[in-house]
Homo-oligomer: A and B are copies of this chain.
Amino acid sequence: MIVSAMSGETNRLLGLAHQISPTPDMREMDSLASTGEQVSAALVAMTIQQMGGKAKSFLGHQIRIHTDDAFTKARILKIEDSKLRGAVQEGNIAVVAGFQGIDPGGNITTLGRGGSDTTAVAIAAAIKADVCEIYTDVDGVYTTDPNICPSARKIERISFEEMLELASLGAKVLQIRSVEVAMKYGVPVHVRSSFTDTTGTMVASEEGLESVVVSGVAYDKGEAKVQLVGMPDRPGIVAKIFGLLAEKNVSVDMIIQSPSRGGGSETDVTFTVAKTDLARVKELIEAAVKELGGGTVEYDPEITKVSIVGLGMRSHAGVAAKTFGILAGEGINIQGISTSEIKISCIIAAKYTELAVRALHTGFGLDKTA
């Protein structure tokens, strides 16, 4: 059993840190944040014991869950299974603190938001489990967020690839990394409710899946738009800026570079980053822009990325055009576009989020049939 922090606990801990600094040291953040799962693991083990079972809690450094040293978003490198197997052979339920590991220097790392899912899938892979069941507050993966689109349907079975896109596009039901790990090791993941016995959604390989054109609509309010206006258009400038961000482990999502203006001397670059990275990005970018000599920077946190995902896009032309048409039909301006083989994402003003999601859900025939 892999446990995550109690509801609200991770936010409480991050809040403590942000009272001290807007950009707290990431090594310290991880040591701080990992206590949430440590508390849960101990309490769950006690609860099982109190119910008459045998249980033992394990932390990342005890099992050992080895990760790289990218604090706050570390990747699991290797999981030792001997302590877990030993505990289970002694009749225990092993209760593992999710979300955490240790880097080669013995520092505590965490795997990013929802990282307990990744711990669960990685442990399932390490012990060669038949299935990894993820118990959550919803009863499965939906065609879109039922809170803003009442006609959303629960998906019975979805491919790793589609789930990966949905997760990376803002469907919060599973952490992206957990789906990557599941896909890499072929671990079927059953996403289901903590509150009912209903079968949830099985995330598995695409074999035997009917290939629908669009299987879901996702949205993500967690990004902010950064616009560099009037940058000197010299080779290497853009590389320099994104190199800086990469160095500091800031993930950049969509990047749009406009054609040169001013007789080829100036260019505009737009990109999106996680809102939580915005404070750090501002620091970095403003120093960089000054150093590079010119340009102004604008920030817009009031944006949403809406996306449609489906394996069937590979073989069906015109999905992009249809998407843009649906949004235009609602009077929604598209501020940026990015596509992959099985998804199309558009940046829109945050105020249109619900409208866009419902329009795309209906437009691509995902509504519940009564």
Q: Which residues on A are within 8 Å of B, measured CB to CB?
A: 13, 16-17, 20-21, 24-25, 27-29, 31-32, 34-35, 38-39, 41-43, 45-47, 49-50, 56-57, 59, 61-62, 106-108
Which residue on chain B has the smallest CB distance to residue A45?
A: B28
Chain B residues whose CB sits within 8 angstroms of the CB of A20 once the complex forms: 43, 46-47, 50
Complex copy number for this chain: 2
Chain B residues whose CB sits within 8 angstroms of the CB of A61 once the complex forms: 61, 106
Known interface pairs A49-B21, A62-B106, A106-B62; A42-B31 also in contact (CB < 8 Å):
yes
Cβ A31 vs Cβ B25 within 8 A? no
State the majority secondary structure of interface residues on A: helix
Cβ B49 vs Cβ A25 within 8 A? yes
CA distance A238 to B30 in the complex (A): 51
Cβ B46 vs Cβ A28 within 8 A? yes
Chain B residues whose CB sits within 8 angstroms of the CB of A35 once the complex forms: 35, 38-39
CA distance A49 to B41 in the complex (A): 30
Which of A16, A28, A43, A61 has the most chain B CB atoms closer than 10 A to its own CB?
Answer: A28
Cβ A45 vs Cβ B57 within 8 A? no
Chain B residues whose CB sits within 8 angstroms of the CB of A59 once the complex forms: 31, 108
CB distance from A279 to the nearest CB of B (A): 14
CA distance A56 to B27 in the complex (A): 8
CA distance A25 to B53 in the complex (A): 12
CA distance A43 to B19 in the complex (A): 10
CA distance A44 to B214 in the complex (A): 50
Which residue on chain B has the smallest CB distance to residue A6?
A: B16
Cβ B25 vs Cβ A13 within 8 A? no
Chain B residues whose CB sits within 8 angstroms of the CB of A34 once the complex forms: 38
Known interface pairs A16-B39, A38-B35, A39-B35; A28-B50 also in contact (CB < 8 Å):
no
